[in-house]
Structure 1
Amino acid sequence: MIKRLIKRLPSDLLVRLYTAMPFKGIKNWIVYKAQDKFLVAVLGVITNESSQVLLLNHVYREEPWGIPGGWMELEAPEKGLKREIQEETGLSVEITGIYRAVYQTDPDRVELIFRGEVRGGTFRPCAEISDILYCEVGSWPAGLPDTQKSLIQEVLEKTSV
Structure 2
Amino acid sequence: MFAKWINRIPRDWLVWMYKHMSLNRFKNWIVRRSQQSFLVAVLGVFTNDKGEVLLLRHSYREQEPWGIPGGWMEQEQPEEGLLREVKEETGLDVQIERLERAIRRSDPNCVDLIFKGTVQEGTFLPSSEISEMMYCKVGEWPAGLPRSQQLIISAILG
Q: TM-score, normalised by structure 1?
A: 0.89
In the other structure, the counterpart of 1:76 is 77
* Distance in 1, Cα, partners of 2:102 & 2:46: 17
Give the equivalent residue in structure 2 for 1:2: 2
Q: Look up the match of 2:57.
A: 57
**Aligned-pair distance for 1:88?**
0.7
SS in 1 for 2:7: helix
Alpha-carbon distance between aligned partners in 2 of 1:48 and 1:35, rounded to the nearest angstrom? 41
1:36-56 Cα shifts (integer Å, max 9, x gaps): 212111111001122111000
Q: Please identify runs of 4+ aligned residues in structure 1 that moved more than 6 A.
A: none
Aligned residue in 2 for 1:24: 24
The alignment yields a C-alpha RMSD, in angstroms, of: 1.5
Residue deviations 1:88-143 (CA, integer Å, cap 9, x gap)? 11111111011111111211211111101112222111111001111222222222
One-letter code of the match for 1:152? Answer: I
**Amino acid across the alignment from 1:125:** P
The percentage of aligned residue pairs carrying the same residue is: 55
TM-score, with length taken from structure 2: 0.91
**Aligned equivalent of 1:144:** 145
Unaligned runs of 5+ in 1: none
Q: Which amino acid is the alignment partner of residue 53 of structure 1?
A: V
Structure 2: tracts of 5 or more residues without a match: none
Q: CA deviation digits over 1:48-105, x for unaligned, max 9?
A: 1221110000011111111111111122111111111111111111110111111112
1:46–1:13 Cα change, 3 Å: same
Amino acid paired to 1:7: N
* Number of positions where the alignment pairs a residue of Structure 1 with one of Structure 2: 157
CA distance in 2, matches of 1:75, 1:139: 34
Cα shift at 1:10: 2.1
- CA drift of 1:147 comes to 2.3
Specify whether residues 4 and 148 from structure 1 end up closer, same or farther in structure 2 by C-alpha distance, changes over 3 A only: closer
